[in-house]
Structure 1
Amino acid sequence: MTGGNRSTHGRRSTAPQGRRGRGRGGRLLMAALAVLVLATAGMGWAYLRLNGDIDTFGADGLSDNRPAASSTGQNVLVIGSDARTDGNSDLGGGDRNDIGRSDTAFLLHVYADRRHAVAVSFPRDTLVDIPPCRLPDGRWTRPVGGAMFNSAFSVGQTAEGNPACTQNTVEKLTGLRVDHTVVVDFKGFAALTDVVDGVRVCLPNDVYQKDLDPKRATRGELLFPKGEQTVAGERALDYVRLRHGIGDGSDIGRIKRQQAFVASLLKKVKSEGLTPTRLLPLADAATRSLTVDPGLGSADKLISFAMSLKDVDLHNTKFVTIPWRYQGARVAIVEPEADALWAALKADRTLGGERTDGGSGASASAPTAAAPPSPVSGEGIAVAVHNGTRTRGLAARAAETLRSKGFTVTGTATAAAQDHLGTVIEYGPGQKEKAATVARLFAAAELRPVAAAGIDVVLGQSYADNPSASPTGTPTAVPTRDTRSADDDPCSNLSYG
């Protein structure tokens, strides 16, 4: 692993005692100052210790051909590793000499308003294209098509795994730039659940030792009774690793329970308050077995990022799985649903199709009466339309829709490239408001400022697949199934099949 910044723990220094103050007021003042000094020294020691516990992976493994950075929301890739050293083998994390594997992964999109978030899970058997990835000796691999998603983490066959390769794979798959990547192993996960005094979970039926280890000859002892219960440490690990004995025993069902677990963990942390004082013991537990990108490689950066999420509302924190279907024993991605999901996140739209308020409005958790959308009027707005797909006649079809709403269409043409997945509205200086009006006719369209004057619509495959997705300006929901909110009943939607 490159870029690690392990350091020895700092020691709290002592200073000569000052002259004792006279009178009760002086003693109180000195006592207050002493408390302040000790608290400050203790906080500094804690930060120094956290810095010593944080590992980073090298940015030299990231692709040179990355998606453009977003000016709105943030994307954080979270990877759960099931094979690392430092005591993980005692918790089922694999042999010390084994290679690192990703047991679970999800992409967390935090919206610009910092009140909404959505976590998209990737089944480990999902068939994807893995782009070139860097090996430990500095060489780069060739692209691999139709590989299992979790194999990206194992490129290079090292015990630490290859988080940069998984990040490259996610960026290629989604077209979204990953701002940060975090890898948590078994040991760190178990410690985290201990610090919060356990997490409330639920089981749809009794679970026995054989369900956790199918190679057992007998059913074994009861591990989890049916219903709600609190788990921590190794029992929490057993819960999130459990696959057999529930539903069809698939990874899809396990993802449902993992999403429910993360939701319950968030609920527990939020209920106790997200402050630096409360974050420090959480961070201390997590960072001992945490690997992050260089952008989160210090205690200040890590805690600052965590604090930026303190206003995310539980009900507006959603969990989904990438649109999928079975392909034999593997999982295939379903299009155009997946592309619609990535386009929505790129445009910072919620799963319901709405834009968030960018932090300028009331709390998203406060219920408000939804006003009906106003009719789209294109009066005084001139637009050129370009077909960015191989579907013939698409520009003419979109032009007719625009004219029906009062827009002036200055021309139609074929775009320079015909591989656009989502629709893009390009606008020149001073045209942003008019471009936003145009975007109301195209589901999950991305607004993109350019130097040239005017407004151009570049149609993507999502419009070709569903040209009537948003003809009236009403936001279009992203087609997903089994969406969970962080405040849902912990006993709901826990298995598949």
Structure 2
Amino acid sequence: MTGDDEDRRAGRRPRILKAVGLTLAGALVAGCAAAGWAYWHLNSNIKSVDINSALGDDRPAKPTPTPTASASASASQEAPLPTEAVNILVLGSDSRSGEENEALGGGSSAGARSDTAMVVHIDAGRTTATVVSIPRDTLVTRPSCPLESGGATAVAYGSMFNSAYAVGGPVCAVKTVESITNVRMDHYIEIDFSGFAKLVNALGGVTVTTDEDIDDDDSHLHLKAGTHHLDGKQALALARTRHGIGDGSDLGRIGLQQKLVKALLEQISSAGLLTSPAKLYSVADAVTGSLTTDTGLDSLSELTSLGESLKGLAADDVKTVTMPVVTAPSNPNRVVAKEPAASELWESLR
């Protein structure tokens, strides 16, 4: 190799390094821009309701935080765990109109209903959780609820539990749950039909074992007893099935919903979301795009913080139960809280 060749190569090196540097810098900027856009998009997906302002102080008291062994652990932990339990009212609804919801059996926004209601109690150490299903056919005293348009609804006696959402939306749903349980709901989360189906699809489906044949023309689900891997539409149909199992009551549907909750938790833990940014984004987009929360959970950072605090919680640590009920004396197709068992259950969650 001649001296001239070496000089020419030496002269090209800075230009090549500069080109590589500019390319990497461009990719980094593009990556940061994409990440920034993704965060903005996911954050703007979330809709919220200011339940605290609407209900004011006329609510069950918040429990006093008590230090736990986990919270007082060494300062070397990444972040201390919360020092108080948290109760979240989770509703599954057909409240949003649109082609996707209609195709999945959803109603219009004018006919909003809460088809699924669960109180999720997470202990102070974030090591166990209890999910309590409230049958939609439960007869309750629905309290007076403030309306967004002004004024308030009248107190209603012997009303179906899910009528609270229909007449007063999330605010009335929360107030009614607090009224019948005397447990303060720290947060509210609502997911609609299409969002639930998208979540299951984004996770790659969900595997559920049924104990009996399901033959329900209303939910369009027909399954033999056994283990099945369901897509989003099938999983939603399973969550809505009631006429094709047992006595056709809401209690049979709740049993299927609780199986589905456990199966989803197991699927999320095994989906490898942290090692697949594309799948993680797809799941996050599916969830946030169909989510309504209270203002305490209406940002990606707040939802992420809640999720981070639950990373040690396994599916086996989650207990699913149904509020104890008996057939209503006034209507064989309705139920009422069974006392004192129901009150004892709610007492254990305060």
In structure 2, the partner of 1:247 is 246
In structure 2, the partner of 1:207 is 214
In structure 2, the partner of 1:180 is 187
In structure 2, the partner of 1:91 is 104
User: Is this contact kept in 2: 1:81–1:101, CA < 8 A?
Assistant: yes
1:83-123 CA distances to partner (integer Å, 9 max, x unpaired)? 421331121002x3641110010010111111211110000
1:252-291 matches, cutoff 5 A: 252-273=251-272, 275=274, 277=277, 279-291=280-292
In structure 1, the partner of 2:80 is none
Greater relative contact order, per chain length (Cα 8 Å cut-off, separation 6+): 2
Secondary structure class of the residue paired with 1:315: helix
1:200-219 CA distances to partner (integer Å, 9 max, x unpaired)? 01233443453636xxxxxx
TM-score (norm 2): 0.82
Structure 1 residues 274 and 308: CA distance shift in structure 2, 3 A? farther
| Distance in 2 (alpha carbons) for counterparts of 1:97 and 1:304 | 31
User: Is this contact kept in 1: 2:197–2:233, CA < 8 A?
Assistant: yes
More helix by share: 2
State the shift of 1:182 in Å: 0.8
| Distance in 2 (alpha carbons) for counterparts of 1:133 and 1:42 | 43
User: Is this contact kept in 1: 2:208–2:229, CA < 8 A?
Assistant: yes
User: Is this contact kept in 1: 2:130–2:318, CA < 8 A?
Assistant: yes
The answer for unaligned runs of 5 or more in structure 1 is 1-19, 157-161, 214-221, 347-497
| Distance in 2 (alpha carbons) for counterparts of 1:108 and 1:279 | 24
Structure 1 residues 169 and 274: CA distance shift in structure 2, 3 A? farther
| Distance in 1 (alpha carbons) for counterparts of 2:320 and 2:28 | 42
User: Is this contact kept in 2: 1:279–1:303, CA < 8 A?
Assistant: no
Counterpart selection for 2:91 from 57, 76, 79: 79
State the shift of 1:293 in Å: 0.9
- Farther-moved stretch of structure 1 (81-90 vs 239-248): 81-90
| Distance in 2 (alpha carbons) for counterparts of 1:313 and 1:44 | 31
| Distance in 1 (alpha carbons) for counterparts of 2:20 and 2:174 | 54
User: Is this contact kept in 1: 2:95–2:112, CA < 8 A?
Assistant: yes
Q: Kindly tell me the number of residue pairs found equivalent between the two proteins.
A: 313
TM-score (norm 1): 0.59
| Distance in 1 (alpha carbons) for counterparts of 2:317 and 2:184 | 22
State the shift of 1:49 in Å: 0.5
Secondary structure class of the residue paired with 1:155: helix
Counterpart selection for 2:342 from 338, 345, 351: 338
1:194 is aligned with what amino acid? N
User: Is this contact kept in 2: 1:56–1:291, CA < 8 A?
Assistant: yes
User: Is this contact kept in 2: 1:275–1:307, CA < 8 A?
Assistant: no
| Distance in 2 (alpha carbons) for counterparts of 1:171 and 1:206 | 37
| Distance in 2 (alpha carbons) for counterparts of 1:31 and 1:238 | 49
State the shift of 1:52 in Å: 2.0
| Distance in 2 (alpha carbons) for counterparts of 1:109 and 1:66 | 17
User: Is this contact kept in 2: 1:192–1:282, CA < 8 A?
Assistant: yes
2:193 corresponds to 1:193: no
| Distance in 1 (alpha carbons) for counterparts of 2:40 and 2:348 | 40
| Distance in 1 (alpha carbons) for counterparts of 2:318 and 2:115 | 23
| Distance in 2 (alpha carbons) for counterparts of 1:336 and 1:223 | 38
Secondary structure class of the residue paired with 2:316: coil
1:325-347 CA distances to partner (integer Å, 9 max, x unpaired)? 2222211112222222222221x
| Distance in 2 (alpha carbons) for counterparts of 1:197 and 1:25 | 43
User: Is this contact kept in 1: 2:131–2:320, CA < 8 A?
Assistant: yes
Matched-pair identity in %: 42
Structure 1 residues 336 and 207: CA distance shift in structure 2, 3 A? closer
1:272-300 CA distances to partner (integer Å, 9 max, x unpaired)? 34649464322211121211111111222
Counterpart selection for 2:57 from 61, 64, 75: 64
